[in-house]
């Protein structure tokens, strides 16, 4: 094992010989007859420790340690004063200037060796700690980068809320769900097949992506979760993974804002001549107790909702065809959303695959934004 390098600095040749004799068996000792010679040696080699005398001609030990500590290249070298000055003021001055120890001459070789050993051990531990800290900091930066990109990747396929949940608690990635009161939203573009037959596949995909992005952004802004895309349809829900007391209001607000965004996008698409006619989505919304969680298999999970209340929302979206409407909501959603929304009751309707008839309402607008025509429509 390579020996640690020690500089022994003293203007007295006898002291240099005595010190080197005591240390050579354990360390690689370099002697310097004064501070100037020590700095010459430092240009060639960096020691593990310096034993420094105080009373020396030209540059004394105090001046030398100040210069050592002011230079970043040498500031971390531990310095022990080995001196004939035995008064407490001199010792205090030496320690205040940054020395790790203060030993008076004549020294006892075994004690000098032990104190050097202790200080080198401390220094090695400090270096090991700094190295470990550097490694941990690098790992932290890598982990931050990984989490950032992982969240970005997850968010491309999942809601940001769900992505955060998975990254924060990967243990939740298991099959199973829980019953929760929520609101689910189904949307589907009317007669999209006719548009698909006209457009080239590449243009059709580009168009659909732009349209779905505009609609999905609104759902996400309202803190909804995009469950899945089925062709030109969107399935989303509100109230999970975090509980939302106002999930029905958020869903209804999303539907109204989506129809507004739809008008803007249709105008843009028609001006760009990328669609032959306007596109309109039908929307169905229902609130109630549903099962939400990870469904599928152990190898491939899907965070989704299931239950009869989900089926009702799907049937309401389809029911728009019969009534000539664009947004239909159930009575449970209307009651939960409250008076902030203008709704028109259409009656009690039997839905395919649903055992009990459902009271159905057309969602027209935010009450505060309702037009005279919309208000009259509700009075009919």
List CB contacts of 322: < 8 A, sequence separation 6 or more: none
Alpha helices, H only, 158-303: 160-168, 192-198, 201-221, 247-271
Q: Quickly state the pLDDT bin for 154 (edges 50, 70, 90).
A: low
Same domain as 236, residue 102 = no
pLDDT digits (tens, 9 = 90+) for 65-96: 999 999 999 999 999 999 999 999 999 999 99
Q: What is the CATH number of the domain that holds 67?
A: 3.40.50.2300
With 0.75 as the threshold, say if the pTM is over it. Answer: no
Mean pLDDT of the chain: 89
**Is the residue at 141 inside a domain?**
no
123: containing domain: 5-131
pLDDT digits (tens, 9 = 90+) for 19-49: 999 999 999 999 999 999 999 999 999 999 9
Instruction: Tokens for 375, please give them.
Output: 């208000």
Domains in the chain: how many in total?
Answer: 2
Same domain as 184, residue 123 = no
Same domain as 331, residue 187 = yes
Among 95, 114, 131, the domain-final residue is 131
Q: From residue 141, give the alpha-carbon distance in Å to each of 84, 127, 134, 137, 145.
A: 50, 21, 11, 6, 6
156 pLDDT above the threshold of 60:
no
Same domain as 241, residue 96 = no
- What are the b/e assignments for 82-99, b being 16+ CB within 10 Å? bbebeeeebbebbeebeb
pLDDT digits (tens, 9 = 90+) for 261-320: 999 999 999 999 888 888 999 999 999 999 988 777 767 777 789 999 999 999 999 999
Same domain as 216, residue 95 = no
**Is the residue at 101 inside a domain?**
yes
Percentage of the residues of the chain whose pLDDT score is greater than 70: 91
Instruction: Tokens for 113, please give them.
Output: 């060796």
Peptide bond into 308 cis (omega under 30): no
Q: From residue 119, give the alpha-carbon distance in Å to each of 69, 356, 360.
A: 17, 84, 83
* Closest among 100, 275, 101, 279 to 190, alpha carbons compared: 279
**Is the residue at 158 inside a domain?**
no
CB 372 within 8 A of CB 342: no
**Is the residue at 162 inside a domain?**
no
* Closest among 216, 263, 261, 249 to 235, alpha carbons compared: 216
240 pLDDT above the threshold of 90:
no
Same domain as 209, residue 83 = no
CB 70 within 8 A of CB 101: no
* Closest among 259, 250, 248 to 214, alpha carbons compared: 259
Instruction: Tokens for 116, please give them.
Output: 């050097």
In this structure, of 4-13, 219-228, 362-371, the range with the lowest mean pLDDT score is 219-228
Q: What is the CATH number of the domain that holds 223?
A: 3.30.70.1230
């Amino acid at each position: 094992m390579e020996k640690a390098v020690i500089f022994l600095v003293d203007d007295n040749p006898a002291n240099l010989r005595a010190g080197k004799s005591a240390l050579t068996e354990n360390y690689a000792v370099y002697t310097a007859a004064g501070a100037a010679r020590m700095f010459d040696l430092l240009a060639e080699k960096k020691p593990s420790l310096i034993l420094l005398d105080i009373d020396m001609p030209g540059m004394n030990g105090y001046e030398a340690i100040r210069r050592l500590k002011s230079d970043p290249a040498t500031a971390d070298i531990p310095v022990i004063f080995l001196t004939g000055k035995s008064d407490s003021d001199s010792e205090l001055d030496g320690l205040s200037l940054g020395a790790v120890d203060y030993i008076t001459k004549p020294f006892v070789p075994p004690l000098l060796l032990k104190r050097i050993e202790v200080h080198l051990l401390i220094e090695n531990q400090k270096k090991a700690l700094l190295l470990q800290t550097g490694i941990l900091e690098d790992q932290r930066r890598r982990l931050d980068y990984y989490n950032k990109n992982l969240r970005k990747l997850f968010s491309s396929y999942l809601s940001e809320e769900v992505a955060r949940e998975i990254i924060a608690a990967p243990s939740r990635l298991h099959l199973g769900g829980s019953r929760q009161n929520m609101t689910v939203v189904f949307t589907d573009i009317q007669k999209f097949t006719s548009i698909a037959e006209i457009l080239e596949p590449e243009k059709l995909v580009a168009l659909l992506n732009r349209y779905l992005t505009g609609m999905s952004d609104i759902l996400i802004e309202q803190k909804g979760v995009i469950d899945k895309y089925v062709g030109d349809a969107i399935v989303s829900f509100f109230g999970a993974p975090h509980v939302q007391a106002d999930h029905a209001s958020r869903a209804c607000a999303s539907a109204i804002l989506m129809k507004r965004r739809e008008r803007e996008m249709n105008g843009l698409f028609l001006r760009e001549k990328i669609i032959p006619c306007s596109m309109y989505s039908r929307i169905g919304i229902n609130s109630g107790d549903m099962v939400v969680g990870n469904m599928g298999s152990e190898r491939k999970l899907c965070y989704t909702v299931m239950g009869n209340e989900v089926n009702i929302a799907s049937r309401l979206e389809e029911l728009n065809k019969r009534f000539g409407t664009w947004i239909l909501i159930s009575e449970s959603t209307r009651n939960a959303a409250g008076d902030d929304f203008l709704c028109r009751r259409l009656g009690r309707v039997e839905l395919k695959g649903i055992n009990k008839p459902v009271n159905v309402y057309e969602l027209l607008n935010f009450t505060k934004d309702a037009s005279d025509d919309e208000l009259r429509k509700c009075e009919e």
